[in-house]
Amino acid sequence: MNAMFEKTFPRRDFLKGAGALVVGFTLANSMRASDAAAMEIGPYGPPVDQVDSWLAIGEDGRATLFTGCCELGTGSSTGLMQIMAEELDVAFDRVRLVGPDTSRTPDQFVSSGSRTISAHSRPIRQAAAEARAALVELAAKRLGVPAEQLATANGVVSVKSDPAKKVTYAELVGGKQFSVKVTGKVKPKATNEYKIVGKSVRRVDIPEKVFGTFTYMQDVKVEGMLHGRIVRPPAHGASVVSIDESSVAHMPGLVKVVREHDLVGVVCKREEQAIAAAQALKITWSNWADLPDMKDLHSTLHNLPEYSEGYPKDAPGGVLTKSGDVDAGLTNAAKVVRATYLSPFNHHASIGPSCAVADVRADGTTLYCGTQTPYGTREAVAKFMGLPNERVRLIYTEASGCYGQNGADDVTIDAIVLSRAVGKPVRVQWSRADENGWEAYKAARISECVGGLDQNGKIVSWQARTFGSSGYSRPEYHEPKHGGEPGSLVTAQLAGWDKPGLEEGFSGAAGNFEPVYEDMPNKRVVFTYLGPTSHRQGPLRIRVGSMRGVGSPDNIFVAECFMDELAAAAGMDPIEFRLKHQPRPRGVAVLKAAAQLAKWETRPSHSKPSSGDIAYGRGVAMLGSNTDTNVAGIFEVAVNKKTGVVQVQRAVIAQDCGLVVNPDAVKNQIEGGIIQSISRALKEEVTFDRSRVTSLDWSTYPIITFNEIPDAIDIVLVDRSDLPPMRVGEPASESVWPGVANAVYDAIGVRLRQLPLTPARVLAGLAGNA
Amino acid sequence: MATTKTLRVNGKAVTATVDDPATPLLYVLRNDAGLHGPRFGCGLGQCGSCTVHINGEPVRSCTRPLSSVGARDEIVTLEGLGTKEKPHKLQTAFIEEQAVQCGYCINGMIMQAAAFLKKNPKPSVPEIKTAMQNNLCRCGTHMRIVRAIKRASEA
């Protein structure tokens, strides 16, 4: 139980009595006022008078990083440790990391959007640079040599002209306590000095995960812990009419049946007892059947009222881009193309359903959970309990991979309600059906495009409009706004919390809808916002939230499929057509790199019809911006015209994500994103009846299996180490949906505009009913 | 009626008292034996993350009733397959290939593959994929998992 000991060991005790050089965040925190977004430090960390730190160097010369960033199974903590080791000039294996704990680590907002390295590592890098400078100052005094004549390497400060004259960090720290304030004035290393950053260091978490010694959230045990299970309504809007407690009174191990409004659960001594009691508990629920018919989902979305107060000031009416005169462009066009694209709800489909342990006591609450927003969730939970923030301690514990907002936050409310009712610590483990039934789904979409081409195959009008809900229903805002609200959690809604959740408007879901091409004079791109929606509130009564890219994958699916449709209408090769409309320079570079690696054959799509059962095709998609990662993806597919099955045989990804901290970890993320997105492109669709979501297990929500993965995923990372590190997890995955759909068009000559590209839809398309 | 049962897990005796003999083995392994290897994913035998070996055969412990496991049956979990000091060749290969993302499914991947390699020590890539067909991974680590199994088979 070393991991648990580590997690519950108070930080101040950890440092007490032993020598250490501690880099405090108090000054870094005050820097926030002038440079909030750049430093990514929130206001909700430990109080500044309880000296806390970004990092500490012990008298053994080992360095400990205290971070508010959540390791979500991507390897980001290894990257942070590389950055710290690099900047400190200590060996990588002399560094360790302590993850989020609201009583001992800084507030680093939400760990999402592939931003741990690209954004949240910056203050850590700065703190490490300051620590190294402080150690050099100490060495200068000790050795009697000016600081500029000293060099650092491997935890040792030595005199440049006489390397035998040296002192170790451990010797410098000795048994004493040093407190260093971040000044922001120390300059971190130049990229060309890097020795650890840029290397494929092996991930620190992998050995424990393959030996079965890792402590996931689902493994957390605390003294005297009981087991809880919840019983959700059988319909999204149903309420408790009555509970027959006698139905479980005889059951062994039962401690209590708990009800707060429509949140119902059981607490038992053993886990299997709780499962049995939850199954046996007889509850009469009210009838509710107000979901739309699933076949009318997209027309329903199209007809929902616009949520006009959700638009930000810089996008009134949801207009993201407006330039030139789209109507005049269309009137003068030689060819006009129209298309409507549809995408479904998706499950996050984390392999491990959500779990939390809560210990609610009179003097304070301790909460273990696998959130992405330790401080926001802590605040939301504290509000729910009517407590000040400091009376709730949230200890982040890595759970199953999350890919966005699964039930990790919601389950904390369940655990608190049950623990509060029995006065003992309670572990709540959601079932597979609880997770699929009540998490926040990737939002479904309907999008409409109209485009015009002139005689030369040039786009003279581009109009795109999508109808989408919020991409964000976390209990915490993205920075720089901050705070936590229980109203964002469906479990709090079930428990009767009637104040609204946070509402960030549509901005989280509108990313990357604007075309990446500079030479497109007349455009109008609109995101019609339908507002937030939850099982218990809002217009649709199906809950949506963030999932890998939030709205961006849907937006890119539309933009890059439509680009392909216009290329085909112009009779041009899809890559030549894209280049003709001038992507930004980094976009051109990745597009050309992908084409070269894929040995792209220049010709218009679609390909010549094949005589056999299998039709082969290739498709391309690209995305990016000047300040973010640029990706081009090329996908080769085989379509079985008899069965309708699409197999992606090869994916080729060219990515420019600036400085690469750990190339193998980046490739691991790209491969994973590609495979997950192929699964979503070809197979995945949340299903529902008039009362509830019905895709509640792996047979009703199948995901990709080993026989369906590509034969190869070839990746080229374009060397731009002159640029800062940028996002690596999400962007490549977002090229998949349009790239695969374009490849299917290339193979069979039929344009499929509704995801997923199931065999039934392929066969319908081939039969002329797409 | 509560029943007490002693099992053999990773070569050691584990005693558990359950009310219902249909209790899935998974909960006894996790809560009574205190093991972290076998993981709860679906409780339906669909995803494979709970896989253990019983007498060398891969078994989904989330649906295997305790009543069907005898005192002489040898149960082996990921912890018993190998350790940091004495790793199984698959554990070494998974580290070499960095074939893990969140790692939640990896218990099942290694346990399934270990039983498979005993029967087919030198498999082809298509044979590996077919053997792993019923184990789900959501992070998309499949390419690396296949490479790790191939690597272990060549070790």
Q: Residue A41: which pLDDT band, with cuts at 50, 70 and 90?
A: low
Size of interface A-B (CB pairs under 8 A): 178
Q: What Å distances lie between residue A324 and A301, A335, B101, CA to CA?
A: 29, 18, 46
What CATH number is given to the structural domain containing B50?
Answer: 3.10.20.30
Work out the minimum CA distance from B72 to partner chain A, whole angstroms. 24
Check A432 against B41: CB less than 8 A apart.
yes
A82 closest CA partner among A182, A167, A189, A177:
A189
The Cα–Cα gap between A437 and A185 comes to 51
What is the structure's pLDDT at A44? 62
Tokens 């349009």 correspond to what residue?
A738
Q: Residue A28: which pLDDT band, with cuts at 50, 70 and 90?
A: very low
Considering the domain architecture, whether residues B93 and B76 belong to the same structural domain is answered as no
Tokens 């840029």 correspond to what residue?
A198
Q: Are A550 and A329 in contact, with CB atoms under 8 Å apart?
A: no
Mean pLDDT value across chain B: 97
**Which of B10, B25, B42 to probe the A interface (max A CBs under 10 A)?**
B42
* Mean pLDDT computed over A667-678: 98
Q: Out of B18, B40, B44, name the one closest to residue A218 (CB).
A: B40
Side-chain-side CA neighbours of residue A191 (13 Å): 12
Beta-bridge mates of residue A257: A266
What is the structure's pLDDT at A37? 36
What is the structure's pLDDT at A25? 57
Q: DSSP H helical segments within A581-683, as ranges?
A: 585-598, 663-682
Does the pTM surpass 0.90? The reply is yes
Considering the domain architecture, whether residues B74 and B16 belong to the same structural domain is answered as yes
Q: How many domains does chain B have?
A: 2
CB-based contact, B63 to chain A, within 8 Å = no
Check B44 against A432: CB less than 8 A apart.
yes
For A353-373, write each residue's pLDDT tens digit.
999 999 999 999 999 999 999
**Which of B77, B100, B111, B147 to probe the A interface (max A CBs under 10 A)?**
B100
Phi, psi of B101 (to 5 degrees): -115, -95
* Mean pLDDT computed over A152-176: 95
Considering the domain architecture, whether residues B74 and B100 belong to the same structural domain is answered as no
For A755-768, write each residue's pLDDT tens digit.
999 999 999 999 99
> What sign has the CA pseudo-torsion A291, A293, A296, A297?
positive
Q: Which domains does chain A have, with CATH numbers?
A: 2-211 (3.30.365.10), 217-288+348-438 (3.30.365.10), 582-766 (3.30.365.10)
The Cα–Cα gap between A8 and A397 comes to 11
Residue of A nearest to B19 (CA): A252
Which residue among B81, B112, B133 closes a domain?
B81
What is the structure's pLDDT at A716? 98
Which residue among B81, B109, B139 closes a domain?
B81
Considering the domain architecture, whether residues B115 and B66 belong to the same structural domain is answered as no
The Cα–Cα gap between A766 and A768 comes to 5
Check B139 against A672: CB less than 8 A apart.
yes
Helix (H) or strand (E) holding B10: none
* SS3 at position A96: strand
Beta-bridge mates of residue A621: A633
**Which of B96, B116, B128, B143 to probe the A interface (max A CBs under 10 A)?**
B143
More confident site: A591 or A477: A591
Check B78 against A212: CB less than 8 A apart.
yes
What is the structure's pLDDT at A53? 63
**C-beta neighbour count of A1 within 10 angstroms:** 11
Q: Out of A270, A352, A432, name the one closest to residue B104 (CB).
A: A352
Check A211 against B79: CB less than 8 A apart.
yes
Beta-bridge mates of residue B76: B53
Whether residue A17 has pLDDT greater than 60: no
Check B104 against A73: CB less than 8 A apart.
yes
CB-based contact, B13 to chain A, within 8 Å = no
Tell me the two tokens of residue A224. 């005297």
**Which of A211, A271, A431 to probe the B interface (max B CBs under 10 A)?**
A211
Amino acid at A166: K
User: Where do the DSSP E strands lie in A597-645?
Assistant: 614-623, 630-640
Considering the domain architecture, whether residues B104 and B68 belong to the same structural domain is answered as no
Nearby residues of B124 by Cβ (< 8 Å), 6 or more positions away? none
Considering the domain architecture, whether residues B43 and B75 belong to the same structural domain is answered as yes
Work out the minimum CA distance from A403 to partner chain B, whole angstroms. 8
Check B138 against A350: CB less than 8 A apart.
yes
Q: Out of B24, B98, B103, name the one closest to residue A214 (CB).
A: B103
Tokens 């690596």 correspond to what residue?
A728
More confident site: A508 or A658: A658
What is the structure's pLDDT at A475? 85
What CATH number is given to the structural domain containing B145?
Answer: 1.10.150.120
- Residues in chain B within 8 Å Cβ distance of A401: 101-102, 104, 138-139
Check A698 against B136: CB less than 8 A apart.
yes
Considering the domain architecture, whether residues B39 and B93 belong to the same structural domain is answered as no
What is the structure's pLDDT at A769? 84
Work out the minimum CA distance from A158 to partner chain B, whole angstroms. 35
Whether residue A8 has pLDDT greater than 70: no
Considering the domain architecture, whether residues B50 and B114 belong to the same structural domain is answered as no
Q: Residue A42: which pLDDT band, with cuts at 50, 70 and 90?
A: low
Residue of B nearest to A227 (CA): B31
Residue of B nearest to A431 (CA): B42
Whether residue A183 has pLDDT greater than 60: yes
Work out the minimum CA distance from B148 to partner chain A, whole angstroms. 12
Q: Out of B95, B139, B143, name the one closest to residue A210 (CB).
A: B95
- Residues in chain A within 8 Å Cβ distance of B129: 706-707, 709
What is the structure's pLDDT at A10? 40
Check A273 against B138: CB less than 8 A apart.
no
Q: Residue A331: which pLDDT band, with cuts at 50, 70 and 90?
A: very high
Q: DSSP H helical segments within A439-551, as ranges?
A: 490-494
Check B47 against A698: CB less than 8 A apart.
yes
Q: Are A633 and A620 in contact, with CB atoms under 8 Å apart?
A: yes
- Residues in chain B within 8 Å Cβ distance of A75: 101
Q: What Å distances lie between residue A212 and A1, A74, A295, B5, B17, CA to CA?
A: 12, 18, 44, 24, 24
CB-based contact, B91 to chain A, within 8 Å = yes
Check A218 against B130: CB less than 8 A apart.
no
What is the structure's pLDDT at A40? 47
> CA triplet A516, A517, A522: central angle to 5 degrees?
115
User: Where do the DSSP E strands lie in B10-141?
Assistant: 12-18, 51-54, 57-60, 74-76
Work out the minimum CA distance from B104 to partner chain A, whole angstroms. 5
CB-based contact, B29 to chain A, within 8 Å = no
Considering the domain architecture, whether residues B46 and B103 belong to the same structural domain is answered as no
Mean pLDDT value across chain A: 91
Side-chain-side CA neighbours of residue A396 (13 Å): 30
Helix (H) or strand (E) holding A265: strand A263-268
For A213-251, write each residue's pLDDT tens digit.
999 999 999 999 999 999 999 999 999 999 999 999 999
* Mean pLDDT computed over A642-664: 98
Instruction: Please list the helix, strand and coil fractions of chain A in percent, rounded to the nearest 5, in that order.
Output: 35, 25, 45
CB-based contact, B3 to chain A, within 8 Å = no
CB-based contact, B110 to chain A, within 8 Å = yes
**C-beta neighbour count of A282 within 10 angstroms:** 12
DSSP letter for A633, please. E
What is the structure's pLDDT at A46? 56
CB-based contact, B20 to chain A, within 8 Å = yes
> What sign has the CA pseudo-torsion A32, A625, A729, A110?
positive
Check B140 against A211: CB less than 8 A apart.
no
Tell me the two tokens of residue B110. 């290694």
Residue of B nearest to A76 (CA): B101
Q: Are B94 and B117 in contact, with CB atoms under 8 Å apart?
A: no
**Which of A39-43, A152-156, B16-20, B147-151 has the lowest average pLDDT?**
A39-43
The Cα–Cα gap between B83 and B92 comes to 10
Which residue among B25, B59, B81 closes a domain?
B81
Residue B109 belongs to what domain range?
89-154
* Mean pLDDT computed over A479-484: 68
Q: Out of B49, B110, B130, name the one closest to residue A351 (CB).
A: B49
Considering the domain architecture, whether residues B25 and B72 belong to the same structural domain is answered as yes
Considering the domain architecture, whether residues B71 and B7 belong to the same structural domain is answered as yes
- Residues in chain B within 8 Å Cβ distance of A675: 140-143
For B38-68, write each residue's pLDDT tens digit.
999 999 999 999 999 999 999 999 999 999 9
Tell me the two tokens of residue A175. 């048994």
Considering the domain architecture, whether residues B66 and B8 belong to the same structural domain is answered as yes
